[in-house]
Amino acid sequence: MPNRNSDILFQLIKSLQKAEKRNFKLYIKRSSNNEDLKVIKLFDAMDKSSEYDEKILFKKVPEMDKSRLSNLKTHLYKEVLASLRLLKSSDSIELELNEQLDYARILYNKGLYLQSLKILEKVKESASSHSQDSFLLQAISLEKKIEILHITRSMGDRADKLANEAIHVNERRTSITQLSNLALQLYSWYVKVGHARNEEEEKNVKEFFKSHMPANTTGFNSFYEKLYLYQSYCWQAFICQDFLMYYRYSQKWINLFEANPAMIEVETGHYVKGLHNLLNAHFDLRNFKQFDTTLNQLEEFANSPLGLQHDNFKINCFIYINVAKLNNYLMTGTFSEGLKLVSHIEDQLKEYEQFIDEHRILVFNYKIAVLHYGCGNFDTAIDYLHKIINENVSLRTDLQCYARLMHLMAHYELGNTTIIESLIKSVFRYMAKMKNFTVVEEEIFKFLRKSFFVSPRKLKPEFELLLNNIKHYEKNRFETRSFAYLDIISWLEAKVYGKTMSEVVHEKYKSSKHCVAIVSPES
């Protein structure tokens, strides 16, 4: 994405809403001087520019000294952040607690110890009710400092009380740190590799999970202990393709928020991510009704005041809702309907391009490619696959491999025999290098090599043979990856029965008890 490596000040200014820009102008003009007037002009020039270009900036602000541009930009960046902090101070419990802690420190430095302790008591109360242990520790630390250095006439059993509070919070923080580290490392593993490709990888993931899981998790009672515990189980189950376990812990994740509704506002990102994972779990298990219910829940939240409060929430809701919608079209076989959504998705991706990471872009491009492939638009599918293949990122080696395989199969469908042989060799080498081979893929490569020498009228028996050879692998956990990214079974059945791939998938949807669970290449 072009703006991803752009100037950070330009990105910040472009992210501002009208009210935030207006607030900045009011903020900076309260104490304006000659330097601040230049800052306002620089702000206006960057705000009106479609891209960052210093030559254009100097034309728009001719009085700006080139040698001082860097300092002026640094000053402007700080002032914009300061104005946003004032405007958004009541938007989150973290900002409120930070502000109160600042007040307590100011009062302490002024020698007003008792006033400082009063504020710290309120901070502790608010931090406890919102499970904000990091702020609780800061408040306790300042309380202990005041009690150690000054006579406040409040000691009594206060020393023991503060010591016990600190020990209890530290123990809880240790558990939370261990669990959040585990959840993060498992998610990072998935983003880099995808699902476990064989028994050895699954074993390694499970051993890593077991060795990093804190002891006595049944005694965990705090919100964050439970949240990161459920997340850790989710990622381990998803990597190992244990979709029933993945569903159970995704549901526990959401149930935790529903049991603590005040935390939805505190940890909105985690709540939205939980709904996204629950949607993926329903998709994997083909829980069609529950999928629709959860999608409606996410869409309702996205349109709520909280969902619209911050750009971050709006962008994440856009990503997760549209990934879910594409998944819905893929599992119901309504591929052509799904293609109607593509232009809207691409418009939004362009609008949010500086805020969306490469992983999300890869997933969208892959899903759109699958829709086109399923509709028989092989040329267009190839165009989207090129966006994945040519993207120089070390993410989702599974997507990289299956994009190449689908690219090969699209050229096969188009009858581009002149390049098929070289493509087979290059894709085979790539997937072997990435250790991404399964028995199913080996069978597909055998078929593609052999089909060169088979006349079109004799191809149907070959398709039937390949279908019979691989169909019994549908229940094999390590082989289902091959059916996840491009539904090979439905593709072969379409060839054998003279139907479109979309028709085959839609018929399976209508008789859902015969549907085979497919892995979602998204998380």
Domain edges within the chain: 8-88, 93-155, 258-343
Of 15-29, 146-160, 361-375, the poorest mean pLDDT is in: 146-160
Tell me, what's the pLDDT at 153?
A: 57
Q: Residue 2: its pLDDT value, please?
A: 40
pLDDT tens-digit map of 231-240: 999 999 999 9
pLDDT grade for 191, boundaries at 50, 70 and 90:
confident
pLDDT the model gives residue 67: 81
**What average pLDDT does range 347-356 have in this prediction?**
89
Higher pLDDT, 270 or 510: 270
Per-residue pLDDT band at 342 (split at 50, 70, 90): very high
Question: What is the per-residue pLDDT for 105?
Answer: 94
- How sure is the predictor about 156, in pLDDT bands with cuts at 50, 70 and 90? low
Q: In this prediction, what percent of the chain has a pLDDT beyond 90?
A: 55
67-116: pLDDT as tens digits: 888 888 999 999 999 999 888 877 788 999 999 999 999 999 998 988 99
pLDDT at position 3 is 42
Res 199: pLDDT:
86
Residue 34 has pLDDT above 80, yes or no: no
The pLDDT, as a whole number, for residue 63 is: 80
Which residue, 427, 399, 400, 423, is CA-closest to 411?
423
Per residue in 414-447, pLDDT (tens digit) is 988 889 889 999 999 988 887 767 888 888 888 8
At 270 the pLDDT is 97
- Rounded Cα distance, 247 and 279, in Å: 9
Is the Cβ–Cβ distance between 398 and 485 less than 8 Å? yes
To the nearest whole percent, how much of the chain has pLDDT over 70? Answer: 92
Q: What is the mean pLDDT of residues 187-202?
A: 87
Nearest partner of 384 among 394, 395, 371, judged by Cα: 371
Across the chain, what does the average pLDDT equal?
88
Looking at per-residue pLDDT, the higher value among 223 and 217 belongs to: 223
Q: Specify the DSSP class assigned to residue 454.
A: S
Q: Are 147 and 155 in contact (CB under 8 A)?
A: yes
Please say whether the beta carbons of 166 and 138 come within 8 A.
no
Average pLDDT of the segment spanning 172-176: 93
Across 20-29, 315-324, 514-523, which has the greatest mean pLDDT? 315-324
pLDDT at 348 over 60: yes
Higher-confidence position of 253 and 483 = 253
Indicate left, alpha or beta for 213 from its phi (over 0: left) and psi (-120 to 50: alpha).
beta
Q: How far from 445 is each of 86, 221, 431, CA to CA, in Å?
A: 61, 52, 11
DSSP string for 188-250: HHHHHH-S--SHHHHHHHHHHHHHHSPS-GGG--SHHHHHHHHHHHHHHHHHTT-HHHHHHHH
Amino acid 520: pLDDT: 47
How many whole angstroms separate alpha carbon 493 and alpha carbon 487? Answer: 10
1-5, 194-198, 204-208: range with lowest mean pLDDT: 1-5
